[in-house]
Structure 1
Amino acid sequence: MTVRVVIVDDHSMFRDGLRFALERTSDLTVVGEAVDGATALAKIRATEPDVVLMDLAMPGMGGLEAISQLTAVQGREDSHAAPRVLVLTLSDDDASVFAAVRAGAHGYLVKGASADEVASAVRAVADGHAVFGSGTAARMLAYFAGQPSRTGERFPSLSEREREVLERLAEGESNPAIGAALFISPITVRNHVSSILAKLQVSNRREAMLRYRQP
């Protein structure tokens, strides 16, 4: 059986690489791509995939809202069965993982996972399993065992890296300057900033700066 996949990510080079990696296998085929949640919902309706590989931080409608809308159509007599969703994103903090699971995701991987790991996860999710990267799975087990992982006191929803980015953003540093200081690319900084704005529920860098400086 061939697993039909839709890739949802706003970075074209990442989508191209992911498509190439998946279609090297004989049992996975990419039937569509989308750059944001709204486009993804239309593409999913048109192509009826088995699995959706979903980024979370995207302009416009993000991944969490798109997953929630997909989950909402399940059980409706006038709709096809919703596909299973495997999150593939940059954020690896507990808040993002649990928000995705609550929205209806069936798996969660962090970008940087190998092509073989992603392909295996797609197959497993298509077969009805829940799949999480090793670090994420360990934290989830700890959480349900009553030992949640430690997070920052002021901004518990942010990952450690996101807090580092926020500290420098609050000092007025640009994305290239933050990237140089933290040894990450400006694109990665931009993705972290987008995630920070969403989690802090602010609309721009200035509001994030003010939020950080609040006592």
Structure 2
Amino acid sequence: MTIKVLIADDERLVRSGFKVLLDLEDDITVVGEATDGAEAVERARATRPDVVLMDIRMPRVDGIQATAAIAGTRGLEEVRVLILTTYDTDEYVFDALQAGAGGFLLKDAGPAELLHAIRVIAAGEALLAPRITRRLIGHFAASRAGARVAEDRLAVLTDREREVLALVGEGLSNQEIGARLFMSPATARTHVSRAMTKLGARDRAQLVVIAYRTGLVRP
């Protein structure tokens, strides 16, 4: 399967660099480029990409607004947004995850890391496992501690689903969750899917947000 990618960044050099790299891959094709968030939404509607590489800081409409618009557009439910950010400067990463982003990548990541991130996001996983990512999410989650939703929201989950949600919140993959709880990766995936359905989460990234905001996982 070929992964269709839309690149949204207001810097032409950045877009060109990503495009050159991605065009070298047999399983990835660039279907469009956007210079701001509004154009990103328009291009997403027109091209139906699998993954949008979304910069946060763009003119007119920023990456967070664009991410929320894409997540809320009928017919684009399967589009995954990979936020591009600069560590310690973009204080909107947590907001982007709440808006519907599937994860984020540091702008200084190497080519191999970028390609891996695109494939992970396209497969429906959340790119939240690296230690630096967990620390960043934890930092922004902690700054919003007073706004956490009531833990009562978790009442719909079974004890096992709570355990799985906590591990998703820590950034573990299905395989790692299975190993930790002595179950198969397929069973772990089933518990994750059920938790998503019960909590109304769009994807794993939003499960991470819920895990922090309910206090199930603490920074």
CA offsets per residue over residues 51-80 of structure 1, 9 Å max, x none?
Answer: 00000000110000000111112xx4xx34
Q: Equivalents in 2 of 1:135, 1:85: separation in Å?
A: 19
Q: Which of 105, 118, 122 lines up with 1:109 in the alignment? A: 105
Q: 2:150 aligns to what?
A: none
Whether the 8 Å contact between 2:71 and 2:77 is mirrored in structure 1 is no
Q: Give the unaligned 5+ runs of structure 2.
A: 144-219
CA offsets per residue over residues 139-182 of structure 1, 9 Å max, x none?
Answer: 435777xxx48xxxxxxxxxxxxxxxxxxxxxxxxxxxxxxxxx
Q: 1:18 aligns to what?
A: 18
Q: Equivalents in 2 of 1:45, 1:110: separation in Å?
A: 26
Q: Equivalents in 2 of 1:102, 1:8: separation in Å?
A: 19
Displacement of 1:32: 0.2
Q: Aligned-residue CA RMSD in angstroms?
A: 2.1
Instruction: Determine if the alignment matches structure 1 residue 83 to structure 2 residue 79.
Output: yes
Q: Which of 79, 92, 110 lines up with 1:96 in the alignment? A: 92
User: Match of 1:138, as an amino acid?
Assistant: R
Q: 1:192 aligns to what?
A: none
State the TM-score, normalized to the length of structure 1: 0.61
Identity of aligned residues (%): 42
Q: Equivalents in 1 of 2:43, 2:56: separation in Å?
A: 17
Q: Equivalents in 2 of 1:49, 1:55: separation in Å?
A: 16
Structure with larger Rg:
1
User: Match of 1:140, as an amino acid?
Assistant: I
Whether the 8 Å contact between 1:70 and 1:82 is mirrored in structure 2 is no
Q: Equivalents in 2 of 1:38, 1:119: separation in Å?
A: 25
Q: Equivalents in 1 of 2:96, 2:109: separation in Å?
A: 18
Which deviates more, 92-101 or 60-69?
92-101
SS at match of 2:137: helix
User: Match of 1:15, as an amino acid?
Assistant: R
Q: Equivalents in 1 of 2:68, 2:50: separation in Å?
A: 17
User: Match of 1:89, as an amino acid?
Assistant: T
Q: 1:121 aligns to what?
A: 117
Q: 1:173 aligns to what?
A: none
Cα pair distance change 1:141/1:99, threshold 3 Å = closer
Q: Give the unaligned 5+ runs of structure 1.
A: 150-215
Cα pair distance change 1:92/1:129, threshold 3 Å = farther
Whether the 8 Å contact between 1:22 and 1:115 is mirrored in structure 2 is no
- Give the 5 Å matches for 1:144-159: 148=142
Q: Equivalents in 2 of 1:94, 1:40: separation in Å?
A: 19
CA offsets per residue over residues 114-152 of structure 1, 9 Å max, x none?
Answer: 1110110000000010003541223435777xxx48xxx
Q: Equivalents in 2 of 1:71, 1:129: separation in Å?
A: 16
Q: How many residues align?
A: 142
Q: 1:4 aligns to what?
A: 4
Whether the 8 Å contact between 2:64 and 2:96 is mirrored in structure 1 is yes
Whether the 8 Å contact between 2:87 and 2:106 is mirrored in structure 1 is yes
Whether the 8 Å contact between 1:92 and 1:110 is mirrored in structure 2 is no
State the TM-score, normalized to the length of structure 2: 0.60
Cα pair distance change 1:39/1:143, threshold 3 Å = closer
Q: 2:57 aligns to what?
A: 57
Cα pair distance change 1:21/1:103, threshold 3 Å = same
SS at match of 2:41: helix
Q: Equivalents in 2 of 1:94, 1:37: separation in Å?
A: 16
